[in-house]
Structure 1
Amino acid sequence: MSPPAFPAAVLFDHDGTLVDTEPLWEEAKENLAAEHGRLWTPEDTRATLGRPVAATIARMQQIGVRLGDDELFRAVFEHSVRVLEGTRLTFIDGIGELLEELSAAGIPAAVVTNASSAMARHTASAAPAGLFRMVIGTEEYAQGVRPKPDPDAYLTAARRLGVDPARCVVVEDSPPGTAAGVAAGMPVVVVPGQERFEQGPGTLHVDSHRRVTLELLRSLDPRSPSSPLRRAEEAHP
């Protein structure tokens, strides 16, 4: 019997990978801090980039926003919704074509994000019907799934899709998400994001979202001697 096709599933980060919502989240955080007489700076954004909502809550409290954890969680969500209302989200250039390729090939996908599950589901609904089988986000984390950079979220997505984690590919743009995918034992394609970082084992950095095609994802099959990940590891043992 021939081995299963690769990849068995593709697991996407959300912000900065599927859609460019990072500036919108930054605006929401600036507005929330200003409402309480505080300043949310680019440094604060970098410190929380790609991290769970809990990191934003802690940073807000650190800069002097005097709200408890639950109040801040609601406030972050409410301000995000205000910014996003009336904003028409579109897939980052090249990603829409990739989603069409995956759909035509019958390869399932999931969104795995440290941000809002609701917003990720909204984005997923714009993809070809049936492509995104699930979303792992804030709601799942509230129920005990551990957020990135822990690999638990990616492993949970693979388990619920019924596929071997080693047969998945992750598409990411941040260091925490990339670390999570690598720790889950999945090849990670890293697209350009707000924070540049060095290529490490198990990762392939590309210079444009348009470079991420089904052909590229298939080339990452660890069984293939021509896999660019294998060549990179052989060149830098």
Structure 2
Amino acid sequence: MSFNMAKPRTDFPPIRACLFDMDGLLINTEDLYTLCHNILLSTYSSGPMDWVIKPQLQGRPAAESIRRLLQYFNLQNVDPVEYTKQLHKVQEQEFRKSEPLPGALKLLQDLKGGGKVHIALATSSARSHYLMKTQHLDHMFTLFPENRKILGDDPRIPKGRGKPCPDIYLLALKAINESLDEGEEPIRPEECLVFEDGVPGVVAGRRAGMRVVWVPHQELAKVLEGKEELVLAGKGDEEVPVKAEEFVGEVGDGWAEQRISLADFPYEKYGIVVKS
């Protein structure tokens, strides 16, 4: 596959804020989501979840994900509310088994310990699910200041403006800027680095005018082989119209990169200084 490549930008300012997705990036809950759906789908003599539909669900608000899932498996006769209710019962058990993914805890500790880069969480998970997934991982999630944890049911995110819309990342940046020390210059979008595993989240970060590190699940990487440059350009989801004020990426513009994991992160590349 060939593209019209943009000239990559090379004069980026140092990164001053890192904004993190959660599921499938920091913790292994994307695999747990698959497990939970497969348990429930089997009761309808359906499933299992595959990596054709899976990428369409990642990072999206729960109601939209359920709608797409039921449509994909021709279960339109199943009440989405009832399916969601049953799913929550399964998740209540499985989500409490979540674990950090490789490199995630060290990356957060390095950034927090360095003192120069602000961090925030921007997850599509609603508060009830967030607590299920993280209460046993306090050592990890207390690294994020409470006012810089933006969850999927935050009332400040307009209805219908979840990922791939940029609102959640712009809100995370706003939360950081509102709590900077006196005299510290407000952080601009291009001084932010978004960490994502799902395509809608990459699109959201790019549309927010931020740089992005994409760390896809190995199975997602296989499905999207040959399309990586389009994803990194923020062109992985054309269903949501781009507003005039949103940033539009180009293939090869240098604003995003793909990594296998969060381990051994190249801080110097982004002008980030951490304590050794």
Q: TM-score, normalised by structure 1?
A: 0.76
Comparing 160-169 with 116-125, which one deviates more in the overlay?
116-125
> Hey, what does 1:226 align to over in structure 2?
none
With CA pairs under 8 Å and 6+ residues apart, which has the higher RCO, 1 or 2?
Answer: 2
Match for residue 125 of structure 1? 138
Aligned residues: 213
Displacement of 1:28: 0.6
Q: Which has the higher helix share?
A: 1
The 1:132/1:92 distance shift into structure 2, 3 A limit, reads farther
How far, CA to CA, are the matches of 2:86 and 2:149 in structure 1?
22
Within 5 A, what are the aligned runs for 1:78-157?
A: 78-85=89-96, 87=97, 89-106=98-115, 107-120=117-130, 122-123=133-134, 125-127=138-140, 129-133=142-146, 134-140=148-154, 144=158, 146-157=161-172
Counterpart for residue 176 of structure 1: 200
User: Relative to structure 1, is the Cα distance of residues 138 and 67 closer, same or farther in structure 2, using a 3 angstrom cutoff?
Assistant: farther
Q: Deviations over 1:126-185 (max 9, x none)?
A: 327443443333322796262111011111111112143222110112211111101101
1:24 deviation in Å? 0.7
Task: Tell me if 1:24 matches 2:27.
Answer: no
**For the Cα contact (< 8 Å) 2:193–2:212, is it kept in 1?**
yes
Q: Which amino acid aligns with 1:71?
A: E
* Runs of at least 5 residues in structure 1 that lack an aligned partner in the other structure: 220-237
Q: What's the counterpart of residue 47 of structure 2? A: 39
- Using the alignment, how far apart are the partners of 1:54 and 1:99 within structure 2? 30
User: For structure 2, which runs of at least 5 residues remain unmatched after alignment?
Assistant: 1-12, 178-186, 222-226, 234-252
Percentage of pairs with the same residue: 26
2:93 is paired with a residue of what secondary structure? Answer: helix
Secondary structure of the residue aligned to 1:189 is strand
Deviates more, 1:144-153 or 1:60-69: 60-69
How large is the Cα RMSD of the aligned pairs? 2.7
CA distance in 2, matches of 1:54, 1:92: 26
Q: Which amino acid aligns with 1:210?
A: A
With normalisation by structure 2, the TM-score equals 0.67
**TM superposition shift of 1:66:** 4.0
- 1:51 shift after superposition: 2.7
Give the aligned partner of residue 58 of structure 2.
49
